[in-house]
Structure 1
């Protein structure tokens, strides 16, 4: 039973981390796809020289906007994690 609880907590942490990271991952994927289309349509342009700084800047901008929207969800996740840790400290009672 204890191993099932640990496995459940681990899978829950992974799922919650994935939910937090998906907006940034999806937007960076779209930026990289658009750079791929540009480099395919205009091969004389050096997209790789511009692509990395633009991707980095867009990643920071997306994180700034996402943090404001993720704050209530993060509070809920942290509260749940602290409840789980306190339950673990009490011996699962």
Structure 2
């Protein structure tokens, strides 16, 4: 299937045909990663951002937190800079 690139501001773009949208399960507003393949083609992959879950309870969110307050020493590779040095 051929598509034609067109100028869109300072970028180039093309219209994704409806048949590709249906077959690929693409959705308007969804974020995708665009990669340049080794053969010079383009790959469009779903973005792997965490999905907000409105069905999760506050208790479930808090269950993974430690009972004691976190200290700077508990954070891997933490290097204090700025005002926290005075604490």
TM-score, normalised with respect to structure 2 = 0.22
Larger radius of gyration: 2
Higher relative contact order (Cα pairs below 8 Å, separated by 6+ residues): 1
Q: Which structure shows the higher helix fraction?
A: 1
TM-score, normalised with respect to structure 1 = 0.21
Q: Which structure shows the higher strand fraction?
A: 2
